[in-house]
Structure 1
Amino acid sequence: MSDLTLILLAAGKATRFKKPVKKQWLRIANDPLWLHVLKTFRSMHLFENVVVVGHTDELHYMKRHVGDENIRFVSGGASRQASLKNALKTVRTSYVLVSDVARPCVDRTICETLLAAIEKADCAVPTLPVPDTVWYEGAPIDRKHLLRIQTPQLSRTEILEKALKSDTEFTDESSAIHAMGGKVAFVGGDASLHKLTFAEDIALLPCLTPPDTTTRYTGTGFDVHAFDRETPDRPMKLGGVTIDVPYSFKAHSDGDVAIHALIDALMGAAGMGDIGELFPDTDAAWAGADSAKLLRHVVHLLSHTGFEIVQADLTIVAQAPRIGPYKEAIRFRLAELLDIPPQHMNVKATTTERLGFVGRKEGVAAEASATLRWFDWTRQDGKS
């Protein structure tokens, strides 16, 4: 349908999911959940225009998964409604189908049923009856008047935009449109449209394929910084450890080449680009930044987007200062920052036999490699 836009909402914090990974980034085989749902909708051939709403911190990475120019990515807001309003700013079609990626087991039949129902309504929604006895404010109520509302929901775009101008915070499109006097059409829903809210909900979603736990992803990183001998009061940091020398590094941040190489290795393994894209040296926010904090940010980002760190290997190339006395301290500090066992973090040190700028004691270089795997959500203990 050329006059229809699909909006996929995937910007939530997933605080109730209680797993290291956010639910929208659970790997379904090798695709994150949001991409799996997007592919499911795209396979229906009903939508020429698609808007994916993601968390601001994850939007850059989401875009790296899709090269289709008909798919637009929009930053989410502080609530579901705010995210939807952001998405609607980009919609130019008369109709909009809104779906939460937390309802992944959607099929073409429900979408076609909604399309048929919208002809005589402002909003069409799938519903299920409530099978249990329900009490409200101390008394039972007649359950035949109760409906469980699901997504996706199909709305007339102009009506939905007007409905969301209210100061009231609505939990779905049908509530907003009904509040302004619009007509809502109910169609039969499906138990397969169960919403993934808590970790135990995974068992109720048979369409989800477990992650590929056999594959490992490896990345490499390299960085180099010259010495700064003009500001002796500034400490030198290598691998998150203070080195006892009267000079530091010339850099926008603290210049910790070891951590910078390690960050690039981690980002390379995840396909996230490089450190400059995440922490650009043109941004004053990172001036003098503690690289250990930057690394922790990357570790959290990897965890939230479905990765576990398996191991890392680091080589520091320095004629000066002498790295040997600090190797073990660096290894343990980096293992702590990466949240991996110390034996899975390796640190090596070498010189260039007095060759080149390193050999002339003008700076230090570092190279690193890191290996990642998918978080295995099938395990009861939540660990791989």
Structure 2
Amino acid sequence: MAGITLILLAAGSSSRFECDVKKQWLRIGHEPLWQYVARKCVETKLFNKIIITSSSDDIEYMKSYDSFTFVEGSTTRQNSLKNALKEVETDFVLVSDIARSCINEEFLKNIISKKGKADCIVPYLKVSDTIVYHNETIDRDQVKRIQTPQLSKTSVLRDSLETDVEFTDESSAIVANGGSREFILGDNEANKITFIRDLNSLSCLSQPSSDILSGTGFDVHAFDENEEMYLGGVKIDSSFGFKAHSDGDVAIHALIDALLGAAGMGDIGDSFPDSSDEYKNIDSKILLQRVVNKIYNFGFVIVNVDLTIAAQTPRIGKYKLQMRKTIADIIKCDSSRVNIKATTTEKLGFIGRSEGVGVIANANLKYFDWTKI
């Protein structure tokens, strides 16, 4: 089939970015970076199909944002690309990295205009500084800074990646396999985000939205005389605990749902199904930590949380400050932004009959403001 498929690689862990947020989840307005880049490419109308690679942790959440073809990536760029190529039906494929986010339409058209002139069309930048390699000064005119996107013949690229040798770009793999490449002058504006300081050189990106995103969580648990009681991350002096698959910390469970709700990530059952032995009797603080890590990885910052604990028994007044500090440490907030309220139901209902506890939680998030780093 003639035409071009675009593969956008976004499965990396951002290990060199040195920030809680994965760079593909930096927000441009409301859009995460991967979606912003993909939609800009859609607007060019140059591609038959757009494929986005994603880590296993991110892929379901990405699908909730848009309807592109998502492919689970791997721990290496090359293996992620091989997975994506399984979905390519066109004769040509253009491969780029989400981190190279300021690619304009003219640059893309220039690359595509060379289609078929070699097995791979490769943009590059000239080097203006003196170059020393192994203590030898070499001719800088022979040095090229390779960029993406790169346009390849699909069949040639597939064959070239059938190797255990790891290549950092498509053209190197193709040449090593006996293929040809043609260089074209690249774009100085098409900088790649590798380190957090690189954001300062990207003029095409607008700041994230300042909107506040709110979520609500609600959970109840019945008492169990054979269990110890944990509430708000604190061990409560009580002759009974909660009937649950985990440790039954109903306050933290409600808080997890509030955080997930604010981020649009489903509910606690989606993340930690009670059918899994992995979570049997698990400390709920561990579950909360996992959710918080994901919240920050996906480009959010927790603003504040507020919990209302409805219980006829036990009395929790003396534990509230400890709960606030415990939760604050986990969610990376000052304890003043964690509020714990306690109430009874005036002896009405199952709570009033001292059969269990109910908790309502609210959480507010904002986007990580990368413009202030």
Instruction: Report if TM-score (shorter chain) is over 0.5.
Output: yes
Describe the SS at the equivalent of 1:207.
Answer: coil
Q: Report the alpha carbon displacement of residue 293 of structure 1 after superposing the two structures with TM.
A: 0.8
Q: Is the 8 A contact 2:52 2:70 kept in 1?
A: yes
Partner of 2:195: 198
Alignment match of 1:259 (pick from 246, 249, 252): 252
Partner of 2:136: 139
Q: Deviations for 1:111-134, whole angstroms, at most 9, x for unmatched residues?
A: 222222121211111111111111
Partner of 1:31: 31
Task: Return the letter of the residue paired with 1:217.
Answer: L
Q: Report the alpha carbon displacement of residue 356 of structure 1 after superposing the two structures with TM.
A: 1.2
Partner of 2:325: 332
Q: Which deviates further from its counterpart, 142-151 or 10-19?
A: 10-19
Q: Is the 8 A contact 1:2 1:47 kept in 2?
A: no
Equivalent pairs: percent with the same residue? Answer: 52
CA distance in 2, matches of 1:3, 1:363: 62
Q: Does 1:225 align with 2:218?
A: no
Alignment match of 1:111 (pick from 108, 130, 133): 108
Describe the SS at the equivalent of 2:21.
Answer: coil
Q: Report the alpha carbon displacement of residue 182 of structure 1 after superposing the two structures with TM.
A: 0.6
CA distance in 2, matches of 1:266, 1:200: 29
Matches within 5 A, 1:207-222: 207-213=204-210, 215-222=211-218
Q: Does 1:50 align with 2:50?
A: yes
CA distance in 2, matches of 1:286, 1:219: 24
Partner of 1:152: 149
TM-score by length of 2: 0.96
Partner of 1:174: 171
- Unpaired segments ≥5 residues, structure 1: none
Describe the SS at the equivalent of 1:78.
Answer: coil
CA distance in 2, matches of 1:51, 1:13: 18
CA distance in 2, matches of 1:96, 1:244: 63
Q: Does 1:346 align with 2:339?
A: yes
Task: Return the letter of the residue paired with 1:27.
Answer: R
Describe the SS at the equivalent of 1:193.
Answer: coil
Count of residues paired in the alignment: 373
Describe the SS at the equivalent of 2:112.
Answer: helix
TM-score by length of 1: 0.94
Q: Does 1:285 align with 2:278?
A: yes
Matches within 5 A, 1:77-116: 77-116=74-113
Describe the SS at the equivalent of 2:246.
Answer: coil
Q: Report the alpha carbon displacement of residue 168 of structure 1 after superposing the two structures with TM.
A: 0.5
Q: Is the 8 A contact 2:96 2:149 kept in 1?
A: yes
Q: Is the 8 A contact 1:123 1:185 kept in 2?
A: yes
Q: Is the 8 A contact 2:116 2:153 kept in 1?
A: no
Describe the SS at the equivalent of 1:253.
Answer: coil
Q: Report the alpha carbon displacement of residue 99 of structure 1 after superposing the two structures with TM.
A: 0.7
Q: Does 1:74 align with 2:71?
A: yes
Q: Does 1:4 align with 2:4?
A: yes
CA distance in 2, matches of 1:93, 1:252: 49
Task: Return the letter of the residue paired with 1:145.
Answer: Q
Q: Deviations for 1:106-165, whole angstroms, at most 9, x for unmatched residues?
A: 122222222221212111111111111111111111111111110111111111111111
Describe the SS at the equivalent of 2:288.
Answer: helix
- CA change 1:327–1:2 in 2 (3 A) is farther
Q: Is the 8 A contact 1:2 1:48 kept in 2?
A: no
Describe the SS at the equivalent of 2:357.
Answer: strand
Describe the SS at the equivalent of 2:18.
Answer: coil
Task: Return the letter of the residue paired with 1:218.
Answer: S
CA distance in 2, matches of 1:171, 1:262: 42
- Unpaired segments ≥5 residues, structure 2: none
Describe the SS at the equivalent of 2:16.
Answer: coil
- CA change 1:48–1:286 in 2 (3 A) is farther
Task: Return the letter of the residue paired with 2:361.
Answer: A
Q: Report the alpha carbon displacement of residue 2 of structure 1 after superposing the two structures with TM.
A: 6.3
Describe the SS at the equivalent of 1:86.
Answer: helix
Q: Is the 8 A contact 2:312 2:347 kept in 1?
A: yes
Q: CA RMSD in A?
A: 1.4
Shift >3 Å, 4+ stretches: none
Partner of 1:15: 15
Q: Deviations for 1:60-82, whole angstroms, at most 9, x for unmatched residues?
A: 2111111x2xx111222111112
Q: Report the alpha carbon displacement of residue 90 of structure 1 after superposing the two structures with TM.
A: 2.1
